[in-house]
Structure 1
Amino acid sequence: MESPENKQKPRYFKAPIIAVAPMMDWTDRHCRFLHRQLTRRALLYTEMVVADAVIHGERERLLGFDPAEHPVALQLGGSDPEKLAEAAEIGAALGYDEINLNVGCPSDRVQSGTFGACLMRTPDLVAGCVAAMKAAVDVPVTVKCRLGVDEQDIELALDALADGVFDNGADALWVHARKAWLEGLSPKENRDVPPLDYSRVYRLKERYPGRFVGINGGIPDLDEAKRHLAHVDGVMLGRAAYHTPGVLADVDSAIYGEAALAVDYALLIERMANYADRHIARGGRLGHVTRHMVGLFHGRPGARRYRQILSTEATRPGADASVLHRAFAAVDLGSAAEAA
């Protein structure tokens, strides 16, 4: 095993890091633009994009992002080192700050393509993929994995994966602290049913004190995130950040020690409305943007009416950003009492 101190960690992997986890069908460019209005410092991730799609697909649609999103990482899916290297090179050339390899997704589609969580069974192949990607780009190359899959021993499986990727230059390893059960559980069940084992990730960090090890899975808020940061280098927020994005408004002060600034929600809505207008002008629909904003005012009076307006009016053909302004007008920002 290579000495953890042999290589300097890149700028984006100086602990602590709070990140928003890559989530299929959720963390698209519109979601990330919203999240960046709430935090300057959190690291944002794309949805997983398959390497073949990066190479052969419509790049602006699949990979386009707003400069405001930095720092932003591209997550790739695949198992062919040459294709992943080519896709990583494309992503780096487009300006992504990091390239991440998915070794954790349990979906049927991913399994049929022989990548995602099933790669936990082939750590040598993952190591080869990392080596090829590292040789192709200068930006950080990272991996996101599970503790193991199916009947694997999580002590052996996770160590084997970590040894291989770190020995081949991975700049960080993010671990979803659950097994993935590829036989018997649906992708949705794999997000909840396998028990969380945070202590296993802590032990991995103890094994690699000089390497960046981050944790993911079931972390509901920044208070719990700070407790994890006593043991690991970074924390990924997943569904908590998506369903209640307001949690991100405290990241810069609570985690990075920057002066706490109250979010100007009127300005945020104006920016999102302008962003939505630009998207509509390019042929998009208002609902593509507003579907990520439904939980923005969770817990405030008027939040229910805000959600109703977005859920009904924003999805209608021809809807424009005036719908967003009407929805915002229903929210009472003067109180944090529970929404009716």
Structure 2
Amino acid sequence: MDTVIIGVAFVIAVVSTLLAYNVGGRIWVTKFAIRGPINSEGRRVRPLIRKPISGLYGEIAALSMVMVILFMVNLVTEETGIWQLLSQQRWFALALFVTVVLIVVCYEIYACKQAKKQGKGQRFVRYLARGYVPYTFYSIVNFAAVILIVGLIVGQTFVQHQDYKIVERQLEVLTEDINASEAPPATKMVLTEQIYSKVREGASLMVDQINTLVLLVFCSFGAQYLVKHTRIKDAFEADALVQFDVLLGLSIGIIVVYAWSVHFFIYDGFFGKALDALENNREYIASGGWQMLQRFNDLFLDLTQRRGLTGFMISLTNDRGGLLLALGAAGWLIDRHKERISQQVPTQMSEQQN
């Protein structure tokens, strides 16, 4: 069902964009054309490109990027989905949809008024407004897709947090049992194994929450990379390009603050309660023989190492989190390499002219 929703939305957006550029005529083709990269000095990096490319291709490419990201995020967020999210939050989704429509319509009205203030003729403003009518559907789909990406990530994080709370309550019961019990060492050792298992399970759920939010950084990086290092960037104003950098920086900041908060306010205390309960029962378990004590010490040491900041960071880099961080690091290196090349090109061109 989710795939059908994405496919139908994509078709609606593409058709509306085609209609917009058709109805808007040459006005739209000229205004939103992709004219080739421009360096920091305002010169064309590729002066051989003389004919502007219709912004239609940039619009469809940007839409495709958003839809692919939405599709991938929907696959990764296993415990939630587009249809499930919309059905569970239908009134909020409806209110958000109306808000998006109002924002899009208000912006289009503002854009037409700005064109008139800039001295554009009535014909220009008329064709601009005509194109915006079908383009409204494209904008709504794009807005909605971005909101769904964030909603799926946040929804998955919320589900994982609820699962963690269940494990936390189960751990509390086990720690109460091992402290209150006057059972023989073997029974306490069984409770120790269960506590160890629950701590590992709860820690994994906490790490999964953070790794799910890392998807937000990955999506932001993908959008930022596409609009800054391909010809699509010439379809965006300079202020819009800066906003992509701000979005990426903001998403990274959110993840860093959230990860530190989880570690110091939840993760550390979660381990602390379990370790305190185990420490209180060390002597009872030691009376069961050296083999039992050795197993106890191994479990205790492993939890102690995992509790620290180093253990927490290692947990974050396992599995999906490590892959996303590796992709982000690779993208950052490519970004720096592209910037160095773009700075060298104007220098080489000026040397050739001299």
Specify the TM-score bucket, using the shorter chain as the normaliser. Answer: under 0.3
Give me the TM-score of the superposition, normalised by structure 1: 0.24
Q: Whose RCO is larger (CA < 8 A, sep 6+)?
A: 2
When normalised by structure 2's length, the TM-score is 0.23
Larger Rg: 2
Which structure has greater helix proportion?
2
Write 1 or 2 for the structure with the bigger share of strand: 1
